[in-house]
């Protein structure tokens, strides 16, 4: 299977509130970004990777990849855009593989098993995303904080990345999304908007997105637990 990865890594991490963007924070001895990239670069189905970074960080990220001895012949760096959707679209222009995985730089706990299963399902349907059943009760609330309803939890899944697509489908979805002015918080939304089916692969709760400060504490605990000899 000819598969490449787009890693949007151009965010500023405002909700994390750290002095540096969260993808560069230390996670038990290596930057989060490096830990995330290693998972894909070590997977046998992945031949290429394009990293979308903030335009002021292209040189420093390139140096970081060299410092951690990542295989540079597989990794290209490009300038991201103002929103995640723009960063993914720009990185997509640099990737020519038949299949594309999109994965947030700040989800370091994705596994090889999940990547492999997503590729199998995407090949069947054209698009597959990792997701987990929602654990909380989800309410709709007005801007004034009045509850207007409660959603049926058994039908709700929290979507993660990786999200895997046939490249031609993803490019078309992004281009239509741009034409219609859709603001999508994930890539599958753009594919869904074309009426194209998307398959869910059940993931696990540890593949969460590092977003707020307490997530770093949880991430360190998970990393240490996974590194313990069995």
Ligand X SMILES: C[C@](O)(CO)[C@H](O)COP(=O)(O)O
Task: Please list every residue from 187 through 216 that binds ligand CTP, using CB under 6 A.
Answer: 209, 211
Q: Binding segment for ligand CTP among 37-45, 66-74, 81-89, 117-125 (CB under 6 A)?
A: 81-89
Q: Could you tell me if 114 and 207 are in contact, meaning their C-beta atoms sit under 8 angstroms apart?
A: yes
Distance CA 29, CA 108 (A): 13
By the rule CB under 6 A, 181 interacts with ligand CTP: no
If the CB atoms of residues 8 and 177 are measured against ligand CTP, the closer one turns out to be: 8
Residue 135, both tokens: 């654990």
Residue 12, both tokens: 């500023």
Chain-centroid distance, C-alpha 17:
20
By the rule CB under 6 A, 52 interacts with ligand CTP: yes
What region does 79 belong to: left with phi over 0, alpha with psi -120 to 50, or beta?
A: beta
- Select the binding partner of residue 185 from ligand X, ligand CTP, none (C-beta < 5 to 8 A, by kind): ligand X
| DSSP β-bridge partners for residue 101 | 5, 164
Distance CA 48, CA 193 (A): 28
By the rule CB under 6 A, 10 interacts with ligand CTP: yes
Q: Binding segment for ligand CTP among 78-86, 123-131, 144-152, 193-201 (CB under 6 A)?
A: 78-86
Interface residues with ligand X (CB under 6 A) are 84, 104, 159-161, 185-186, 209
Distance CA 62, CA 78 (A): 10
The count of residues in the chain is 230
Candidates 80, 108, 177, 203; binder of ligand CTP (CB under 6 A) is 80
Other C-beta atoms lying within 10 Å of the C-beta of residue 96:
11
Min dist. Cβ of residue 21 to ligand X (A): 13
**CB-based closest residue to ligand CTP:** 11
If the CB atoms of residues 2 and 93 are measured against ligand CTP, the closer one turns out to be: 93
Residues 97-136, mask of contacts with ligand CTP (x by CB under 6 A): -------xxx------------------------------
**Maximum CA extent, the chain:** 53
- Select the binding partner of residue 186 from ligand X, ligand CTP, none (C-beta < 5 to 8 A, by kind): ligand X
């Amino acid at each position: 299977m000819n598969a490449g990865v787009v890693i949007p890594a151009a965010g500023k991490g405002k909700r994390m509130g750290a002095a540096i963007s969260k993808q560069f924070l230390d996670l038990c001895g290596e930057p989060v970004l490096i830990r995330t990239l290693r998972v894909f670069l070590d997977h046998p189905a992945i031949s290429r990777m394009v990293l979308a970074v903030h335009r002021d960080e292209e040189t420093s990220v390139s140096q970081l990849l060299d410092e951690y001895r990542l295989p540079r012949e597989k990794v290209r760096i490009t300038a991201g855009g103002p929103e995640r959707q723009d960063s993914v679209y720009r990185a997509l222009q640099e990737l020519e593989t038949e299949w594309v995985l999109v994965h947030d730089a700040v989800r370091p706990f994705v596994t090889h098993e999940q990547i492999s299963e997503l590729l199998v399902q995407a090949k069947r349907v054209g698009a597959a995303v990792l997701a987990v059943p929602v654990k909380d009760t989800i309410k709709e609330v007005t801007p004034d904080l009045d509850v207007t309803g409660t959603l049926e939890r058994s039908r709700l899944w929290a979507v993660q990345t990786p999200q895997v697509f046939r490249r031609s489908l993803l490019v078309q979805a992004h281009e239509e999304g741009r034409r219609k002015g859709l603001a999508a918080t994930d890539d599958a939304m753009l594919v869904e908007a074309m009426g194209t089916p998307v398959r869910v692969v059940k993931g696990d709760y540890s593949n969460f997105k590092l977003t707020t400060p307490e997530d770093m504490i949880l991430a360190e605990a998970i990393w240490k637990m996974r590194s313990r000899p069995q």
